[in-house]
Structure 1
Amino acid sequence: MSDSLPPSEGLAVVVGVDGSRAALNAVRWAAAEAVDRDLPLRIVHVVASGGAPDDGAADAALLAAQDAAVMSTERVRAQRVQIIGRPEDILLQESRHAAMVCIGARPRRAADEPVVGRVATALARASACPVAVIRSRTDGTAHTDGVISVVLSDDVGNDDVVHLAMHEGRLRGRVVRQIDRRADSWVRRYPDVHVETVAAGSGHQFGWETDGHGDVGLAVVGTADADALPTLTMPNCHPILGYPNCSLLLVRQ
C-alpha cells in the first residue's frame, strides 16, 4: 500500500469562515493541509439568503482569513469566495469538489451542550470528503496539540481512516496513538500484556510517552462515529479518551 494520499487533481482544501477566532484556527490548520497536498485553499464565507448582506463584514472576514493563512505558510495559494445561502448547504456542495472541508468549533461550555454545532452535524452526516472540525479552547488557541488518536477496527474503510491519521501525524509532527479494537487482534486476545508498537527497521519506538503531552489533539474517526456524532451524549465510552471535545477529522467511506 502506498504511503501517499490519493491524487486530488482539480480539487481544493475548503475552509468555512465567519470572522471568529475559531474559524481562523481552522484556516491555519487547513493552510498546512493545502500546501502539503499542493492544492489551493478555498476560503468560503457564506452570506445568509434573504437578509441584507454586510459586505464590509464579509470582506473583513475573508481578508483576515487570507492573512492568517499566508502568515502560517507563505506557500499557500488562497482563494476568497463569498456565497449566498445556508452555511451547511453551501459547505456540503463544496465538499463534492474538495479534498477536505475544514471548519472551526468553539469550546463546549456545558455538559448538556451539543457536542458539535449545526454545520458540523450536517457535514458529519453527508459530506462527500473528509471533514476537519478544529476545536478552540476557552483562551482562543486551537486544541490540536497532543497526540493524534485513531481506532483500529473491523469497520469497512478503516484502512482509509488509519491512512489519513498517519498522514496527519507526519504532516503535523505528532505521535499517532492507535487503539486496537479489532475483534481478532492479538492485543485483545492478551489484554493483560502491555504492548509497545515498534516499526521494524525504522529504529523508532512508539509508545504512550509524548514529551509530556498525552492529551488527544486530533481524533481521526470513520463513518460510524461520524453518523453517531450528532446524537452523541456526554459522558460517553468512546475508546478515544477526550472524544469528542478535541479537534476531529471525520472520514466518511
Structure 2
Amino acid sequence: MPAWTSVTPSRGPVVVGVDGSRSALNAVTWAVAEAVDRDVPLRIVHALGAEPEPRPGQNYAVSHVLARAEDAAHQADDSVSTEVVTSPGRPGDVLVCESRRASLICVGSHPRPCDESALFGPTVARLAQRAACPVAIIRSRRDGTPQTDGAITVVLSDEPANDDLVRVAMHEGRLRGATVRQIDQRTDSWVRRYPDVHVEIVTDAAGLRSHLDNTESDPRIGLAVVGPADTEALGSLTIPNSHPIHGFPDCSVLVVRG
C-alpha cells in the first residue's frame, strides 16, 4: 500500500534527482526505503542542462555521477530495483516532468551560503510548488551528513487535507522507526491506529519548546511533513521562522499533496 494517495499513478517509481553532490547521495539513500516499501523502482535522474547534446567529456562525468548514485542505493538496500536516466533540460523542469508519473520525488538540499536569506534554492522551490506528486527535500549539514535524524513532526489543523499529512507522518515513523511529534490536540484516534509508534503530544510551538525544555526528549527534528499551503513559502522561508513546527528550517521536508 502506498503511504498516501495522489493524482499520479500509485505504482509510479520513486524518483531522485542527482548532480554528483554529497547532498544528492543523501537523498538517494533516504529514497531507497521509500522505493522498497512501495515495491517500485528507484529512478535516478540526472539533468544535463539546456544543451540537447552532451558537451565533450561530459559523458564520462555523467556516467560517474549515475554510477555513484546507483552504488549508494544498493549499499543502502541491495534489494532495491534501480533505473538510471539522463535528460536534457534544467533540473527543476526535468524533475517536474518526471513527477507526472512518479509516486514521490526526492532531492537533496545543501546548506545555503551565509549571505543568502532564502532557505532553499530555486530548483527545490520550483519543484515543491509545481510537482504533481509528493516531494521530499533531504537537507544536509555543512559536514555533508544528512539532516534526517530526530523526530518526524507534523502539525494537526482544521485544513481539509490534514489527515493526509498525519497519515504520511505516521507511516514515516513506522518505516524509519522514528518518534512522531504531533503539534495539536486532536491526536487520540491516530494514536489508537498506530499503537506501535511512539508519539509525543504538544499543543503548539510554544508548548513544544516548553515540552523540550522540561523532558529528556530529543529536540532534533529529522523530517517535517507539510502540506501544499506551505509550498509557496519554501522559496522565501528564512531562519528564524514562526511555523508551528519549531526548527522547521533546519530539517528535511516532505511536501504531501492530497
TM superposition score category, shorter chain reference: 0.7 to 0.9
Q: How does 1:51-200 map to 2 (within 5 A)?
A: 52=55, 54-110=58-114, 112-180=116-184, 199=192
Q: Which residue of 2 aligns with 1:249?
A: 254
Q: How does 1:42-57 map to 2 (within 5 A)?
A: 42-50=43-51, 52=55, 54-57=58-61
Q: CA deviation at 1:236?
A: 1.4
Structure 1: tracts of 5 or more residues without a match: 188-194
Q: CA deviation at 1:110?
A: 2.0
Q: Which residue of 2 aligns with 1:191?
A: none
Note if contact 2:44-2:66 (Cα within 8 Å) is conserved in structure 1. Answer: yes
Note if contact 2:170-2:194 (Cα within 8 Å) is conserved in structure 1. Answer: no
Note if contact 1:148-1:220 (Cα within 8 Å) is conserved in structure 2. Answer: yes
Q: Which residue of 2 aligns with 1:206?
A: 199
Stretches (4+) displaced over 6 A: 208-211
1:219 is aligned to 2:224:
yes
Indicate the percent of aligned positions where both proteins have the same amino acid.
50
Note if contact 2:15-2:102 (Cα within 8 Å) is conserved in structure 1. Answer: yes
Letter in 2 for 1:11: G
Question: How far, CA to CA, are the matches of 2:106 and 2:38 in structure 1?
Answer: 15
Q: SS of 1:102's equivalent?
A: strand
Question: How far, CA to CA, are the matches of 2:137 and 2:32 in structure 1?
Answer: 14
* CA gap 1:160/1:70 in 2 versus in 1, 3 angstroms: same
Of residues 17-26 and 237-246 in structure 1, the stretch that sits farther from structure 2 once superposed is: 237-246
- Normalising to structure 1: TM-score of the pair? 0.86
Q: CA deviation at 1:199?
A: 3.7
Note if contact 1:152-1:158 (Cα within 8 Å) is conserved in structure 2. Answer: yes
Q: Which deviations, in whole Å up to 9, do the C-alpha atoms of 1:26-84 show, x marking residues without a partner?
A: 00001110001100000000101237261111000000000000000011000000111
Q: CA deviation at 1:98?
A: 0.4
* CA gap 1:162/1:200 in 2 versus in 1, 3 angstroms: closer
* CA gap 1:216/1:4 in 2 versus in 1, 3 angstroms: closer
* CA gap 1:78/1:122 in 2 versus in 1, 3 angstroms: same
Q: SS of 1:232's equivalent?
A: coil
- Normalising to structure 2: TM-score of the pair? 0.84
Question: How far, CA to CA, are the matches of 1:205 and 1:250 in structure 2?
Answer: 22
Q: CA deviation at 1:114?
A: 1.4
Structure 2: tracts of 5 or more residues without a match: 201-210
